[in-house]
Structure 1
Amino acid sequence: MGTPRDRFDYVIVGGGSAGCVLANRLSRDPGIRVALIEGGVDTPPGAVPAEILDSYPMPLFFGDRYIWPSLQARAVAGGPAKLYEQARVIGGGSSINVQAANRGLPRDYDEWAASGAPGWSWQDVLPFFRKLERDVDFASSPMHGSDGPVPIRRIPPQAWPPFCTAFAQAMGRSGLSALDDQNAEFGDGWFPAAFSNVDGKRVSTAIAYLDAHTRKRTNLRIFAETTVKELVVSGREARGVIAVRADGARLALEAGEVIVSAGALQSPAILMRAGIGDAAALQALGIEVVADRPGVGRNLQDHPALTFCQFLAPEYRMPLSRRRSSMTAARFSSEVPGGEASDMYLSSSTRAGWHALGNRLGLFFLWCNRPFSRGQVSLAGAQPDVPPMVELNLLDDERDLRRMVAGVRRLVRIVGASALYQHPDDFFPAMFSPRVKALSRVSRGNALLTGLLGALLDVSGPLRRSLIARFVTGGANLASLLADESALEGFVRQSVFGVWHASGTCRMGAHADRSAVTDATGRVHDVGRLRVVDASLMPRLPTANTNIPTIMLAEKIADAMLAERRATRRALSEVADPG
């Protein structure tokens, strides 16, 4: 399959949040040869693009350079399929996300352990949350790490701009308590949002784990702009991968073990193309079945989300030169039948875009922290160039719809009672439509156009509301939606989208559980020398953004893998020298 030089102990497929961690930790042992394969561009030290380092991520996120261009997802059953921005760049989602550093709650991980993933309780995972982080605010706390590769910080309320202060005061008046640390205080409340950023610059896993020192290791090879076309399986064992570089060159890499870390949408697709998945579905596509594991691609979860904007009076606008815009967030309970504690999340941003128009609009993200709905990833074809079909089914469970409706009502009350609020129609739903995404691309033309549109919003209230109704909301307003429960439900169904927290599609669980795909260390059931290590493993979404939990997960499994190798070496040594 290849020359001896093409053989590695571990071949990692995907250089994202998990893959970078694994590459660093496994290659620390000079006796282990590691290959890291990433479909997107590399961002080595000293050559990280300015748009990736920027604290303000939105123009990056809605560009097309760092994402898979043809990956689409259907948010709700029967709805249209839309582009799902999954990263294609070294560092993965950590290179394009909003840099949120949210662990979730202890109950999330206790549930993982109870659902068939032993060793993943809160007490089991806390040491690895601590290991990954250098918390610059709570370094002396036993709940936090002080010397990990990922710096985590918050902007304290005394340093907030007026927008954040006004929003926080309104949340306090609504009954939410003030919390200092969302990652160590586990009740409902509002707080300074934690994020992975230092000195005003993003710290992705590529920056944190693939630093210059790590890249000098002779036992680590990074293959950027290289796409895996085939997972090679012989019998019931993974043997390596076939990949193609951007220049068309074909690579055959042998592996002692293959680790698939391509994300919760691509990882199950890679497994299914290799014959690992639901046997009937694979046979229908002409794929030879290696292992009948019907859970591959099932259990897909994302946080159902909505966005809203508030037109800001000049005194609440933050200068465009100040890049960090997301500082304030909250957890709260929906208090609807069938809901759970802290089942909703609310974050805010002082601007809705990098430009003059976005700077006149405060942005609010509302999502359900504990969704019950489940979706699926399936193959549209056996060929590797055919993107998988993604059905998020975000509101498939009625409880999720009811909680999103309750969340909208609560958000309207909070904003309506804040100093930000001036007129009912100045607070309105906002969607990341193709038109909005096009305006988010940084260009001189967009700067001129958004400057003109921003100036028009300032001319007069009636003109502003007319423009918003015509170009943003389609004439719908929140007052009429709130007065009609069925209309509000229809709006939620039409507007909901995933917040890019896809997970669960190769979930950990016992071998006898036919819906499980891997064991508690990511080993794929019924297939040797193969693991999955990324957000696919999560049995249930944490009450959090998924990036920090994914890094923790990779840290924990890397630690287990190295322990396994040490134990094997000791055993072999004892056999060679029994006495």
Structure 2
Amino acid sequence: MDYSHIIIGGGSAGSVLANRLSARSANRVLLLEAGQDTPPGQVPKEIEDTYPGTAYFDPRFHWTDLKVRTQVVSHNDPHAAPPPLRKYEQARVLGGGSSINGQMANRGAPTDFDEWEARGAAGWNWQSVLPYFKKVERDLDIADEWHGRDGPITVTRIPEARWPAHARATAEAFRQAGFKHLPDQNGRFEDGYFPVTVSIDGQKRVSAAVGYLNEQVRARGNLTISTRTQVTGLLFEGRRCVGVTALVEGQPREFRGREVILSAGAIHSPAILLRNGIGPVGHLREMGIELRSALPGVGQRLMDHPSISLSSFIRRPARLTDAHSRRHILLGLRYSSGIPEAPRGDMFVAVASKSAWHSVGQQIASLLAFVNKTYSESGQVRLASTRWQEEPVVEFNLLSDRRDLDRLMAGFRMLAAIQLSAPLAAVTTDPFPAAYSDKVRAIGVVNERNRWITRAIATLLDGPPALRSWLIEKYVVEGFTFRQVMQDEEALEAFIRKATIGVWHASCSCRMGREDDPMAVVDTEGRVRGIEGLRVVDASIFPVVPCANTNFPVLMTAEKIADAMLAEAAPVLAPGGSALA
């Protein structure tokens, strides 16, 4: 069977495209997803939960072999040891990242999208994208010119009355530090603290799959959803992409279509292009791949938001319990670093009143700071081999721009002052610089062994203060103490260089731009340069990562391009209303 559109990847972008393109009955749409389905009434409880910490750590929903380097990789010094590889929790399930992420539903700064247009994405300025952000959402709380009321993704905010004492104390500390209270994170973009906007309906997660691929959409006769389907290659006739090869439940299949859309994310979309001869000439020659289209920007300038964490022990009465909310991040702060180049709101702090699903996680709070407006743009995705089974080489090169390092250092010092202020000192003890290490990852996997281990440790941590402080310094702190990084500038820099990670906002590896931009991979409607019948629609086409968690910008992007695709294919009407040939 031939299709009008074959979509590779059933994540946030793929779910939007499958819904919108199949809404036109003349289209025949095929959605391919490597992971499992999440059909209505059968969404795994870990995904449905408004607390994301179990789905996020569940290997059933990940590309389990994917590992990345976040620290800067030196390609000029052959004697330099490469930085460590880190597991990267990239979603492998229908709904993609929206099925396992932190459910943060924010958009970015208006200046982000004006910069997109300035970088060559004509028609993607703030005024052009705002209608599509509104089209995505159904805001349960606020009805004004900033918000949508009829979209597939329900968004809301947890009211302060349901916050634990830790979150309320942090809000008070922000207020005392001079920050403004904002009732709406997605209203006018300005500095201040606010209840975070989340993509839940109050009772459960609303992923892209839940919102866009509901029973009514799935009932369309012109939409086929094929899960547990691994794409192995693209099919071409000359310079036109005409289909894909795939394994469906382990069986080889071939699908043909008028147009193929890559929505596999900022790591796997460029990898698919590279394996099929679309990318930098030198790298393709090195891998022995026949050149199909010379596009030097494929896989280049990968971005994420560099982040660092300051954690602390929460006194028992201030902890988050299910009686408050299953949500763990209830409060956020947007602030300006003040560096001359950056727009306002270039920094962000997420306040986590619980750091993990287990007993110790309930005792540990984290102030997670990330560089909202990052200038580190030297990451890359390259092939490790030509085999589709092998994950690509991924180097984020976070902190490759000194301005990002300097702002995280200043941000950590600011968080320390907040942490030591009277409101937080009353509800927490034992602050420590935190690292998302392999040890933390291992104890975060949901299983009975970790459940029992953390219960035992939690009992000890709730014991005498001296024992707790000793345990935290001996077994929790990894190389740097709070006192050390606060008293020694070199120690603070070393800690941040070692412990900085991204926040799973991989983007910009197949950027859209002008025809005369040699690094642009796609045009402003996602069409791959030099190849017919092939588009990329996901976070990889962002010209620069916005000041936001990336899920809502991805949904907006897919909505906007779907609209353009449908308009492009619409019949021209004669004056009397009949279609012209």
Q: So what's the TM-score if we normalise by structure 2?
A: 0.95
Higher mean displacement: 308-317 or 156-165: 156-165
Contact 1:306 1:367 in 2 (8 A): yes
- Match runs of 1:24-39 below 5 Å: 24-39=19-34
**Aligned partner of 2:71 among 76, 89, 113:** 76
- 2-side partners of 1:231 and 1:506: how far apart? 17
Q: What residue in structure 2 maps to residue 96 of structure 1?
A: 100
Of 307, 310, 314, the match for 1:312: 314
1:125 aligned onto 2:129 = yes
Q: Percent of pairs identical after alignment?
A: 45
Return closer, same or farther for 1:475/1:252 CA change in 2, 3 Å cut-off. Answer: closer
Tell me the amino acid that sits aligned with residue 157 of structure 2.
R
Aligned-pair distance for 1:143? 1.2
CA contact (8 A) 2:9 2:31 kept: yes
SS of the residue aligned with 1:446? helix
Separation in structure 2 between the aligned mates of residue 455 and residue 570 of structure 1, nearest angstrom: 76
**What letter corresponds to residue 193 of structure 1 in structure 2?**
V
Q: How far off is 1:231 after superposition?
A: 1.2
Measure how far apart 1:119 and its partner are: 0.7
The CA distance in 2 between the partners of 1:370 and 1:476, in whole Å, is 27
Q: Contact 1:240–1:257 at 8 Å: present in 2 too?
A: yes
The answer to whether residue 148 in structure 2 is matched with residue 153 in structure 1 is no
Who is 2:462 aligned against? 458
* Conservation of the 8 A alpha-carbon contact between 1:310 and 1:420: no
Provide the secondary structure at the position in 2 that maps to 1:348: strand
Is the Cα–Cα contact under 8 Å of residues 480 and 495 in structure 2 kept in the other structure? Answer: no
Q: Secondary structure at the match of 1:420?
A: helix
Say whether the 8 Å CA contact 1:343–1:543 is kept in structure 2.
yes
Which residue, out of 356, 359, 365, partners 2:359? 356
Aligned residue for 2:147? 144
Q: Determine whether 1:473 maps to 2:469.
A: no
Q: Which residue identity lines up with residue 220 of structure 1 in the other structure?
A: L
The range that moved more, 216-225 or 417-426, is 417-426
Name the SS of the counterpart of 2:138 in structure 1.
Answer: strand
- Measured at CA, do residues 570 and 176 of structure 1 come closer, stay the same or move farther in structure 2, by a change above 3 Å? farther
Distance in 2, Cα, partners of 1:288 & 1:111? 35
Letter matched to residue 125 of structure 2: S
In 2: Cα distance, 1:150 partner to 1:54 partner: 16
- Corresponding residue to 1:181 among 179, 184, 208: 184
Maintained 8 Å contact 1:169/1:418: no
Cα distance in 1, alignment partners of residues 178 and 89 from structure 2: 35
What 5-or-longer segments of structure 1 have no aligned partner? none
Structure 2 unaligned segments of length 5 or more: list them: 73-81
Match of 1:286 in 2: 288
- From 173, 193, 198, the counterpart of 2:196: 193
Aligned to 1:296: 298
The reply to whether residue 519 of structure 1 matches residue 523 of structure 2 is yes
Give runs of aligned pairs for residues 110-121 of structure 1, distance below 5 A.
110-121=114-125
Structure 2 Cα separation of the partners of residues 270 and 293 of structure 1: 13
CA contact (8 A) 2:307 2:502 kept: yes
Matching residue's letter, 1:35: L
Secondary structure at 2:35's aligned position in 1? coil
Please list, as runs of the form range in 1=range in 2, the aligned pairs for 1:417-428 lying within 5 A after superposition. Answer: 417-421=421-425, 426-428=430-432
Contact preservation (8 Å) 1:424, 1:479: no
Alpha-carbon distance change, 179 to 371 in structure 1, aligned in 2, over 3 angstroms: same
Query: What is the rounded CA distance, in whole Å, between the counterparts of 2:194 and 2:554 in structure 1?
Result: 22
What secondary structure is seen at the aligned counterpart in 1 of 2:338?
A: coil
Partners of 2:572 and 2:580 within 8 A in 1: no
Higher deviation after alignment, 544-553 or 478-487: 478-487
Structure 1 residue identity aligned to 2:282: A
How many residues align? The count is 569
Structure 1 distance, partners of 2:203, 2:166, is 19
Match of 1:409 among 402, 409, 413: 413
Paired residue secondary structure (1:427): strand
Contact 2:480 2:491 in 1 (8 A): no
Matched, 1:334 2:337: yes
Q: How far, CA to CA, are the matches of 1:271 and 1:399 in structure 2?
A: 32
What do the CA deviations read for 1:227-279 (whole angstroms, capped 9, x no partner)? 00001122111111000023x21110001000000000000000111111001
In the alignment, the residues of structure 2 paired with residue 129 and residue 460 of structure 1 have an alpha-carbon distance, to the nearest angstrom, of 50
The one of 17, 29, 47 equivalent to 2:42 is 47
**Which residue of structure 2 lines up, in the alignment, with residue 378 of structure 1?**
382
Question: 2:173·2:418 contact (CA, 8 Å) conserved in 1?
Answer: yes
Q: Select between 338-347 and 214-223 the one with higher mean Cα deviation.
A: 338-347
Q: Does 1:367 align with 2:367?
A: no
Aligned to 1:438: 442
Deviating more after overlay: 457-466 vs 435-444: 435-444
**1:342 Cα deviation after fit:** 1.3
Instruction: Name which of 41, 53, 60 aligns with 2:55.
Output: 60
Among 5, 19, 22, the residue aligned to 2:14: 19
How do 1:202-281 residues align onto structure 2 when only pairs under 5 Å count?
Answer: 202-246=205-249, 248-281=250-283
| Equivalent position amino acid for 1:288 in 2 | E
What is the alpha-carbon distance in structure 1 between the residues aligned to residue 105 and residue 432 of structure 2?
28
Query: Aligned match of 1:487 in 488, 491, 495?
Result: 491
* Partner deviation per Cα, 1:338-368 (whole Å, 9 max, x = no partner): 5442111100121112122111111221100
Q: Which amino acid counterpart does residue 235 of structure 2 have in structure 1?
A: V
Quote the Cα distance in structure 2 between the aligned partners of 1:141 and 1:126.
13
CA distance in 2, matches of 1:418, 1:236: 65
State the 1:184 CA deviation: 1.2
CA distance in 2, matches of 1:569, 1:437: 58
Is residue 2:550 matched to residue 1:546? yes
AA of the residue aligned to 2:65? S
Q: Give yes or no for contact 1:17–1:205 (8 Å, CA) kept in 2.
A: yes
Local SS of the residue matching 2:256 = strand
SS at match of 2:411: helix
> Could you tell me which residue of structure 1 aligns to residue 79 of structure 2?
none
2: CA distance, partners of 1:533 / 1:570: 32
Task: Kindly provide the CA deviation profile for residues 272-331 of structure 1, in whole angstroms up to 9, marking residues without a partner as x.
Answer: 111110012101111111110100011111000112221011111122453112110011
SS at match of 2:408: helix
Moved more, 330-339 or 55-64: 330-339
Question: How many angstroms apart in 1 are the aligned matches of 2:165 and 2:429?
Answer: 21
Q: CA deviation at 1:424?
A: 9.6
Does the 8 Å contact 1:232/1:242 carry over to 2?
yes
Cα contact 1:117–1:510 (8 A) shared by 2 = yes
| Residue 75 (structure 2) aligns with | none
TM-score (norm 1): 0.95
Please tell me whether the aligned partners of residues 117 and 509 of structure 1 are also in contact (alpha carbons under 8 angstroms).
Answer: yes
Is 1:536 aligned to residue 531 of structure 2? no
Counterpart AA for 2:254 = A
Shift of 1:567: 4.3
Counterpart of 2:364, as a letter, is L
Secondary structure, aligned partner of 2:555: helix
Shift of residue 337, structure 1, vs aligned partner = 5.6
The Cα shift of 1:62 comes to 1.7
DSSP 3-state at the match of 1:36? strand
Q: 1:434-473 deviations in whole A, cap 9, x for unaligned?
A: 2222222233332222111111011112211111112121
In the TM superposition, residue 422 of structure 1 has moved relative to its aligned partner by: 5.8
Deviation of 1:570 (Å): 7.4
Find the aligned partners of 2:424 and 2:373 in 1 and give their Cα distance: 29
- 1:81-139 CA-to-partner distances (Å, cap 9, x unmatched) read 1111110000000000010001111111111111100110111001111111100111x
2:12 partner letter = S
